[in-house]
Amino acid sequence: MMSRMLLCLFLISVSFAFFPFTGEDADTLGKGGLQWETQYARFKHYDETVHKDVVLQITGGIKDNTDIALIIPYSFYRYKDGTRNDGFSDVGVFIKHIPVEAGNFKAGYKLQLNFNTGKEGIGYGKITGNVNLIAQVCKDSMCYNTNFVYIKASFVEELRDTYGIILSNYKKLGKSLTLGGEVKLLRPAEDGVNKLDSHILLGSVYSFDKLSVA
From residue 173, alpha-carbon distances to 29, 82, 84, 104 in Å are 21, 45, 43, 19
pLDDT digits (tens, 9 = 90+) for 50-96: 888 899 999 999 999 999 999 999 999 888 888 998 999 999 999 99
Give tens-digit pLDDT for 91-131. 999 999 999 999 999 999 999 999 988 888 888 788 889 99
What is the model's pTM?
0.82
The total of other beta-carbon atoms located within 10 Å of residue 150's CB is: 15
**First and final CA of the chain: distance in angstroms?**
25
Average pLDDT of the chain is: 84
